[in-house]
């Protein structure tokens, strides 16, 4: 499926991330294929979030030192000028977070936020509002919500809006960091449906970071399991979670509570 | 867990509990009984279902607008005397979701556990220290931890401390409010084991509040499913999860992600969102989102009634538990 480098949308090589003397990520190789949903699984402190931030060239703003290579369609991002990274963020690579309401600007109506963001990316005012409305329809939200402030939204609505932003910006890669962990289970199921759909319809490549292996099992084509900054196992989701080879993966899989597992 | 839902001589009984916040009825006529332990009753539901408000009402942290909460047959909802409240607070203890915020960051672990022991005079003063050590050992923590501060502990260790503190006053009922939701999955598994172990060894009776049906299945023989402040289905956990009789339970069950792809069920999509509790819809509160709703559901509030070994508030429960009418529902894979 993604054996070759040519199909890679985003690829990491020898990525090392450190905070001062403490190395938190030591990753030989990871590849997100075009139109693929790749799960990045692991527990707190495994380094999955900082890895995603490094893909946006943002890890250094958190004081981390990044070495190695992050390539988007072959273009090297590590060491790229900030002006170039700023161009790529949003328009090529977007990120959504666990707490969708707090990732929106509390002082702006949603529509205003869309307009400002799109205009920063060189979209004209008129087209910006069209793109916002189209994106809202695509994520199945009423365009009335464009007139709302973030505090007037539910968690599920806010997460749809965050995804709509990446659609309006025409992002090709979506980095999703625990995007359903704060949501109710029925709302989570809807967001997972939506992510599947944007992959089908837009060919979006999605890196889905989660501690929840069951969610990853339902959504992702492939999964990489991270422990203490290293990838201990990577492969097709059904294989990795169905027949894990690594001991840590085995423990993680065994720890997932399952309904009907005991009689 | 399997057991017959007990009805005799409840330890804790909640009857027709109503809790109001201004115009909002957060809890609307909830009743359940918790027998003496070892026993687990789960309150399950999503945001706004009222499950945490019920926990707070049980702890007397929010007042009941009406209804009764009885411990050993004595109503505690109206308790105002400090002596009555004191003994109730000893008998019923709570463990919160987030051990980081529920422990005093400036107090050493030992002091945190000592406080309720001293306040309730559980053991003579000279025995407090050894009591703390044995409680820490009981939750599988090194007694040395007594000298540490919460920030020096991991999330799982902090939750063990919160459990030790709750147990320190020998409570008869434990309220566990999403005790593992903030924890990593391997840590969660170990805390669940600890609860199961304490249940066996102490004969604990507890009310477990959770949104995780798999956790509920491991720890509770009885489950009540809440929607918009009301119980919509209530009975033996195994039965409710295996064959839901309420469409909301069915949807909730179908939305649970499964790591084992073979166990995956086709999902029932619920349109819309939970209605505004200040302005609930007429008829069945679930009808605007229910794939099975008929005219009767829009007009008549369904009462809880007995069907197939559980109680359920749905006009079409027989068809749903029998698997009929499912074809007419909106589905996606």
What's the complex ipTM? 0.81
Q: What is the pLDDT confidence band of residue B331, given thresholds at 50, 70 and 90?
A: very low
- The nearest alpha carbon in chain A to B46 belongs to A184
Residue A125: CB atoms within 10 A of its CB come to 10
Q: Is residue B273 domain-shared with residue B220, that is, in the same domain?
A: no
Q: Name the percent of chain B lying above pLDDT 90.
A: 73
Taking contacts as CB-CB distances below 8 angstroms, the residues of chain A near B241 are 259-260
Average pLDDT over residues A37-57: 94
In whole angstroms, what is the distance from residue A33 CA to residue A49 CA? 19
Residue B319 lies in a domain: yes
CATH of the domain at A113: 3.40.50.300
Q: Is residue B266 domain-shared with residue B197, that is, in the same domain?
A: no
pLDDT digit string, tens, across residues B219-265: 999 999 999 999 999 999 999 999 999 999 999 998 888 888 777 77
Helix B155-167, helix B185-202: angle, nearest 10: 20
Single pTM value for the model: 0.87
- Domain span holding position B321: 243-332
Q: How many domains does chain B have?
A: 2
User: Do β-strands A22-33 and A8-19 pair in parallel, antiparallel, or remain unpaired?
Assistant: antiparallel
Residue B196 lies in a domain: yes
pLDDT surpasses 80 at B16: yes
- Domain span holding position A19: 7-255
Residue B268 lies in a domain: yes
Q: Is residue B184 domain-shared with residue B317, that is, in the same domain?
A: no
In whole angstroms, what is the distance from residue A99 CA to residue B297 CA? 35
Contact at CB, B185 and A185, closer than 8 angstroms: no
Residue A177 lies in a domain: yes
Q: Is residue B252 domain-shared with residue B200, that is, in the same domain?
A: no
- The nearest alpha carbon in chain B to A43 belongs to B184
Domain boundary among B226, B254, B271: B226
Q: Is residue B210 domain-shared with residue B250, that is, in the same domain?
A: no
Residue B261 lies in a domain: yes
CATH of the domain at B206: 3.40.50.300
Residue B233 lies in a domain: no
Average pLDDT, chain B: 89
- The nearest alpha carbon in chain A to B249 belongs to A186
pLDDT digit string, tens, across residues A87-138: 999 899 999 998 888 888 999 999 999 999 999 999 999 999 999 999 999 9
pLDDT of residue A223: 98
In whole angstroms, what is the distance from residue A257 CA to residue B237 CA? 15
Average pLDDT over residues B103-130: 94
In whole angstroms, what is the distance from residue B123 CA to residue B295 CA? 62
Residue A1 lies in a domain: no
Q: How many domains does chain A have?
A: 1
pLDDT of residue B1: 52
pLDDT surpasses 60 at A18: yes
Q: Is residue B97 domain-shared with residue B195, that is, in the same domain?
A: yes
Which of B184, B256, B269 minimises the CB distance to A185? B256
Residue B91 lies in a domain: yes
Which of A157, A186, A257 minimises the CB distance to B252? A186
pLDDT surpasses 60 at B327: no
Residue A194 lies in a domain: yes
In A198-253, the DSSP E strands lie at 205-210, 222-227, 230-236
Q: Is residue B176 domain-shared with residue B258, that is, in the same domain?
A: no
- The nearest alpha carbon in chain B to A191 belongs to B255
Q: Is residue B55 domain-shared with residue B197, that is, in the same domain?
A: yes
* Residues 6+ away with beta carbon under 8 Å from B283: B296, B297, B298, B299, B300, B301
In whole angstroms, what is the distance from residue A190 CA to residue B302 CA? 28
User: Do β-strands B230-236 and B310-312 pair in parallel, antiparallel, or remain unpaired?
Assistant: antiparallel
Size of interface A-B (CB pairs under 8 A): 97
Q: Is residue B247 domain-shared with residue B176, that is, in the same domain?
A: no
Contact at CB, A259 and B217, closer than 8 angstroms: yes
In angstroms, what separates the C-alpha of B30 from chain A's closest C-alpha?
22
In angstroms, what separates the C-alpha of A215 from chain B's closest C-alpha?
5
pLDDT surpasses 80 at B2: no
Residue A73 lies in a domain: yes
Alpha helices in B139-229, H assignment, sequence order: 155-167, 185-202, 213-219
Which of A186, A217, A255 minimises the CB distance to B251? A186
Local structure of A93: helix, strand or coil: strand
The residue behind tokens 């943002």 is A58
pLDDT digit string, tens, across residues A218-229: 999 999 999 999
Q: Is residue B248 domain-shared with residue B219, that is, in the same domain?
A: no
In whole angstroms, what is the distance from residue B92 CA to residue B94 CA? 7
Residue A79 lies in a domain: yes
Contact at CB, B211 and A192, closer than 8 angstroms: no
């Amino acid at each position: 499926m993604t054996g070759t480098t040519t199909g890679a949308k985003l690829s990491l090589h020898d990525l090392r991330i450190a905070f001062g003397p403490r190395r938190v990520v030591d990753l030989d190789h990871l590849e997100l294929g075009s139109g693929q949903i790749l799960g990045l699984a692991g527990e707190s402190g495994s380094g999955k979030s900082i890895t995603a931030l490094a893909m946006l060239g943002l890890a250094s703003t958190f004081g981390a030192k990044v070495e190695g290579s992050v390539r988007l369609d072959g273009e090297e991002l590590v060491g790229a000028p900030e002006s170039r990274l700023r161009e790529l963020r949003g328009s090529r690579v977007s990120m959504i977070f666990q707490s969708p309401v707090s990732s929106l600007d509390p002082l702006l109506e949603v529509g205003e936020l869309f307009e400002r963001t799109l205009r920063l990316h060189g979209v004209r005012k008129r087209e910006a509002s069209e793109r916002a409305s189209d994106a809202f329809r695509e994520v199945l939200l009423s365009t009335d919500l464009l007139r709302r402030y973030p505090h007037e939204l539910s968690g599920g609505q806010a997460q749809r809006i965050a995804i709509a932003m990446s659609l309006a910006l025409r992002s090709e890669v979506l980095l999703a960091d625990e995007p359903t962990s704060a949501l109710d289970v029925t709302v989570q199921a809807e967001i997972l449906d939506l992510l599947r759909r944007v992959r089908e319809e837009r060919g979006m490549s999605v890196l889905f970071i989660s501690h929840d292996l069951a969610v990853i099992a339902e959504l992702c084509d492939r999964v990489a399991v991270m422990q203490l900054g290293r990838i201990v196992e990577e492969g097709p989701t059904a294989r990795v979670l169905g027949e894990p080879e690594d001991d840590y993966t085995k423990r993680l899989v065994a720890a997932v509570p399952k309904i009907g597992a005991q009689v | 867990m399997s057991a017959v839902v007990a009805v005799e001589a409840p330890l804790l009984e909640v009857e027709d509990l109503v809790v109001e916040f201004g115009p909002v009825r957060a809890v609307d006529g909830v009743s359940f009984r918790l027998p003496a332990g070892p026993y687990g009753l789960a309150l399950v539901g999503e945001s706004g279902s009222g499950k945490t408000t019920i926990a707070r009402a049980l702890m007397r942290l929010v007042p009941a607008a009406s209804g009764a909460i009885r411990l050993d047959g004595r109503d505690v909802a109206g308790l105002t005397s400090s002596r009555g409240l004191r003994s109730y607070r000893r008998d019923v203890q709570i463990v919160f979701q987030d051990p980081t915020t529920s422990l005093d960051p400036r107090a050493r672990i030992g002091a945190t556990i000592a406080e309720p022991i001293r306040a309730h005079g559980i053991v003579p003063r000279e025995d407090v220290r050894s009591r703390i050590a044995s409680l820490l050992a009981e939750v599988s923590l090194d007694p040395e931890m007594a000298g540490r501060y919460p920030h020096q502990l991991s999330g799982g260790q902090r939750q063990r401390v919160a459990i030790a503190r709750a147990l320190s006053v020998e409570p008869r009922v434990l309220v566990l409010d999403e005790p593992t939701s903030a924890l990593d999955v391997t840590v969660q598994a170990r805390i669940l084991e600890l609860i199961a172990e304490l249940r066996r060894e102490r004969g604990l009776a507890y009310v477990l509040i959770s949104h995780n049906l798999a956790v509920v299945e491991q720890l509770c023989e009885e489950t009540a499913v809440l929607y918009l402040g009301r119980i919509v289905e209530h009975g033996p956990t195994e039965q409710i999860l295996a064959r839901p009789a309420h469409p909301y339970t069915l949807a909730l069950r179908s939305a649970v992600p499964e790591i084992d792809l073979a166990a995956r069920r086709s999902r029932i999509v619920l349109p819309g969102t939970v209605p505004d509790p200040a302005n609930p819809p007429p008829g069945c509160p679930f009808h605007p989102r229910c794939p099975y709703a008929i005219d009767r559901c829009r007009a008549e509030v369904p009462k809880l009634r007995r069907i197939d070994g559980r109680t359920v508030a749905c006009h079409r429960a027989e068809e749903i538990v029998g698997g009929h009418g499912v074809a007419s529902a909106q589905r996606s894979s």
